[in-house]
Structure 1
């Protein structure tokens, strides 16, 4: 039977539509309010319809994170590595400012998502193309920490620490299996480029004390350089 004239046609449900609606909900009400049930209600479908596109809420969160990471500007084809890296990190920060829930969602995942791995791999590629050795790039990635994704873990951020029983770190791409190493070669290169400590809290295989001191010295050296230049915030 032909469709009656004037009857509105329902927009087909797709994975992209589901994800964009979920992101809008999280942007508006926070990630803690997002559920498969209220997402289905927002889309005007029964909850079971969502499972044709996403297996569960974990897959939903991973896909939402990857969509946000996809908003980060790609690296330009040329330019000084520091300016390229600074631009991408600020672009990442812009994406997370548009989606305030994303930092907590990234921290909550036990494993880095494919888009995060791809982004981190491209960051390492920028460092290597800029002349940094694999060893130095390894430690710079530790020093940058979550900043490379556009946010930093604040010492006195009680909201971020609320309800947590132990330390939380950004998922670290270490000990990549062969298939992942082939897909993210720059991450694979730096993963084994430095000394290791199986008991590290920053990621299996990395020397926690060394990475802490390296980042501290790097920041202190930078601060001293700015002091010598007479730098003030008005000169940014």
Structure 2
């Protein structure tokens, strides 16, 4: 090691799991999950790849740790607000976090399915959200139903009924001609022709992503509020 390299090495803070995960998140933000490799992370941190394995055993453990880092970006529950306002604010905060890290929803979904339980930070978030409902007067059974209804929306993203092919620049080779589509499925065609499309959207058929998310969220919360009043 040269004298210059030795000085640079001493000037860097010691490697920690926190630094490793922050570097991994930054790489994923820049190039997606495909950009993640122990070699790339080590290069970004100025260490040898083997040094990383002292903090994470494998890529799955790395991804779990990255999810937990992101969950810490979600705003904590606000004081002195009702359950509905608190849930709405936290869900939209979670959504804001995911919009800053577009790769995260797929990782959260895949790692949650691969584990026997979500990561610790996701568990803490969900436990906190359940606590908000319970403090708002929800019986346990209604909370159970609420979690099923909200699904992934509770974490800030939604799984849509149709995959969006609009704006890809590539026509669907299996798509039927518009005239046949209108004849077979008049109501779907009518709806598709009537709605406004946003070419930058990632939800639905080019629909306004944020509007549709908040519309469904508010509709769900309004319905839960009505059900709570009947309990």
Deviation at 1:44, TM superposition (A): 1.7
Q: How many residues align?
A: 162
> 3-state DSSP class of the match of 2:97?
helix
Structure 2 equivalent of residue 68 of structure 1: 70
Cα distance, 1:156–1:32 mapped onto 2, change above 3 Å: farther
Whether 2:68 is the aligned partner of 1:59: answer no
> 3-state DSSP class of the match of 2:54?
coil
Structure 1 equivalent of residue 19 of structure 2: 17
Structure 2 equivalent of residue 7 of structure 1: 7
CA distance in 2, matches of 1:10, 1:123: 39
Deviation at 1:105, TM superposition (A): 0.5
Q: TM-score, normalised by structure 2?
A: 0.65
Deviation at 1:10, TM superposition (A): 2.9
Deviation at 1:23, TM superposition (A): 0.2
Structure 2 equivalent of residue 123 of structure 1: 129
Q: Which has the larger radius of gyration?
A: 2
Deviation at 1:158, TM superposition (A): 6.1
Structure 2 equivalent of residue 47 of structure 1: 49
Can you give the 5+ residue segments of structure 1 that lack an aligned partner in the other structure?
160-214, 226-236
Structure 1 equivalent of residue 162 of structure 2: 156
CA distance in 2, matches of 1:157, 1:41: 37
- Describe the superposition over 1:47-85 as per-residue Cα deviations: whole angstroms up to 9, x where unpaired: 100011111111110000001011111112321100000
Tell me which protein shows more helix as a share of its residues.
Answer: 2
